[in-house]
Chain A
Amino acid sequence: MRLAWPARASLVLLALVLVLALAGPALSPWHAEQLDWQRMAVPPGLDAGHWLGTDRLGRDLFVRTLAGVRVSLAIAGLATVVSLVLGVGYGAIAGYAGGRVDALMMRAVDVFYSLPYVFFVILLTVVLERRPATVFVAIGAVGWLTMARVVRGEARRLREREFIEAAVAAGVPAPAILWRHVVPNLAGPVLVYATLTVPALILLESFLSFLGLGVQEPAASLGNLLAQGAQEMESAPWMLLVPCSFLVATVLALGFLGEGLRDALDPHEH
């Protein structure tokens, strides 16, 4: 498998963001919820180690943004894993079983799809506490639906392949056929779709946090940093630009990586 250069460049950029998010805060003399009473809303510079400036309460933006990247990536990553497990399991069973089972299972997905999503999240945040875990549940509940559809279509195609028929003819039980013959052959499209799911879920998390439905202060996420930055946009543009550039870089890189993977794994492109 050979990735095109944008995808390879994206891999490097992603690795950089990840290393920064994990190791970056340790480099700064500040930590994410620490207030610097002397320097509130200072622009980026070398002054007192506030490399990317501070917010209105004097908290270091470099550290807060990286903490936010960590939270956003963790939520999106975990939700993607959940959507992988649920979506692949559900979709593979529906697609392989076919017929009435398939119709019933996919109609259930359609019902979930048609729920008003933001309303559902507001309900969740009312019922549950407003913690990253709640956002994670809210995102995970929706993330797997599209994955299930993608996988179901792929499984339906696979079902007609002769090696599956040969396994049936050898008396291999259906669960074993699903696990050993169908699921491994889903790896390509699933991998591609998962790479494209992460940025979509990062954006979803940011959107929820921006609306105040997601991660709450004083914890940082890209979404609530953007929300604060947007309020100071005219007097202190760096408060918006710093988290914004991290969000854009991460989402773009993941998008390019997904596209690259899709092209590299597409048999028609060779």
Chain B
Amino acid sequence: MRSTRMSTEPPLLAIEALTIAFAGAGGETRAVEAVSLALGRGRSLGLVGESGAGKSQLALAVPGLTPRGARVAGSIRFDGEELIGAPAATLRRLRGARIGTVFQDPAAALAPHLTIGTQLGEVLAAHALGRGRAARRAALAMLERVRVPDAAARLGQYPHELSGGLKQRVMLAIALIGRPALVVADEPTTALDVTVEAGILELLAELVRAEGTALLLVSHDLAVVAGLCDEIAVLYAGRVVEQGPARAVLAAPAHPYTAGLLAARLTLDSPLDAPVPAIPGGAPGAGPRPPGCGFAPRCRRAQARCRAAPPPLAAQGAARVACYLPLAAGEAP
């Protein structure tokens, strides 16, 4: 596996020291803090973490969808172009055409009052990719590529006439119809039935592979990331705690948090009477965070220096880990 960091061409997406903060009554909450990540052309990166870890904020900052009122600092370079502080027209040109976005809940993200064909055509029209009959043909072809059955009839239907799985296929079609170089998928299957989840993920993997599209996938499901992504970044309290090749990280997690997440997974052969394994404690809420490692309050291995200053990301095998006391391969957290 060729690492993007070692290749000579600049990565498609380079996030440097990104901080996203929200002002609140109790002080500033840093949803994302000093995160640096890179994603090469045609490669895939999975962002995992608990709810509130900042993974969605991080991913949605790429197409510039950070909520109003947030303070954003750092740098996001897409294909050599700086996106933070970029004029609205630049962002609009990139969105839909170069960066596609798949939202979590297709029932909310599809406009209820517009037909599927109109919504697909709208993306094409926004980027001068086709109008009228040509747009209709392109929309039909795209619906067929996301394997929506009876695609021609669906063009004239409204979102409420489609099942949840079909809606998410349409959402994928909207994200991909502009042939973007990068797709940002924010928990694309969280709102769906488990039975349709696998189908959507398979389709997403197949589409990005076929098109050579880079994928930034947000998930709280390690199995999903393991199956879909080349690389993984584990977030905790707004910081990357571990990142590296997905397979290597999941086979031998070095950060106690990653190891805890892995241990908390249930499988079909988990004993039914045993308690569900969990990481003790809860994720930090809003407000300023204590100095030191965000995970220290829940970490059994934490020492005084863990609470004093946050550990930097340091190379550990194939991965990079932000921990003073990383686990050796196979060691229990």
Contacts and interface: CB of A to CB of B under 8 A. Distances in A.
A and B associate in one complex: yes
B127 A167 contact: no
B95 to A, nearest CB: 4
Contacts of B113: 184-185
Interface in B155-176: 171, 174-175
A223 B113 CA distance: 42
A267 interface: no
B194 interface: no
A162 B105 contact: yes
Contacts of B96: 169-172
A176 interface: yes
| Most chain A CB atoms below 10 A, which of B96, B97, B101, B111 | B111
Given A171-B127, A171-B178, A185-B113, A166 B122 contact: no
Contacts of B109: 162-163, 165-166
Contact of A169 (B65, B93, B110, B125): B65
B126 interface: yes
Contact of B95 (A98, A162, A170, A181): A170
Contact of A166 (B92, B93, B174): B174
Interface string A125-165: 00000000000000000000000000000000000011101
Contacts of B125: 176
Interface string A51-85: 00000000000000000000000000000000000
A173 interface: yes
Interface residues of A, number: 19
Contacts of A169: 63, 65, 95-96, 101, 103
Contact of B65 (A161, A168, A173): A168
B126 A170 contact: yes
B114 interface: yes
Nearest to B122: A172
Interface in A89-107: 98-99
Contacts of B95: 168-171
A180 interface: yes
Nearest to B118: A180
Interface in B108-140: 108-114, 118, 122-123, 125-127
B2 interface: no
Contacts, number: 69
A162 B108 contact: yes
B139 to A, nearest CB: 13
A167 B111 CA distance: 8
A170 B174 contact: yes
Contact of A162 (B92, B103, B123, B175): B103
Q: Name the residue among B97, B105, B113 with the largest chain A CB count within 10 angstroms.
A: B113
Nearest to B184: A169
A180 B101 CA distance: 20
A161 B109 CA distance: 8
B92 A173 contact: yes
A171 B110 contact: no
Interface in B210-228: none
Contacts of B283: none
Contacts of A171: 92-97, 123, 126-127, 178
Nearest to A163: B111
A250 B118 CA distance: 41
Given A162-B103, A166-B103, A172 B111 contact: no
Contacts of B175: 170
A246 B1 CA distance: 84
Contacts of B93: 171
Contacts of B178: 170-171
B111 A181 contact: yes
Contacts of A173: 92, 126
A231 B68 CA distance: 61
A57 B96 CA distance: 72
A166 B104 CA distance: 11
Contacts of B97: 171
B114 A180 contact: yes
A99 B69 CA distance: 10
A173 B92 CA distance: 7
Nearest to A181: B111
B192 to A, nearest CB: 15
A169 B110 CA distance: 12
Contacts of A166: 101, 103, 109-111, 171, 174
Interface of A: 98-99, 161-163, 165-173, 176, 180-181, 184-185
13 contacts: A166-B109, A166-B111, A168-B95, A171-B92, A171-B96, A171-B126, A171-B127, A171-B178, A172-B96, A172-B122, A172-B123, A181-B111, A185-B113
Given A162-B105, A168-B65, 5 more contacts: A165-B103, A166-B171, A170-B126, A172-B126, A176-B126
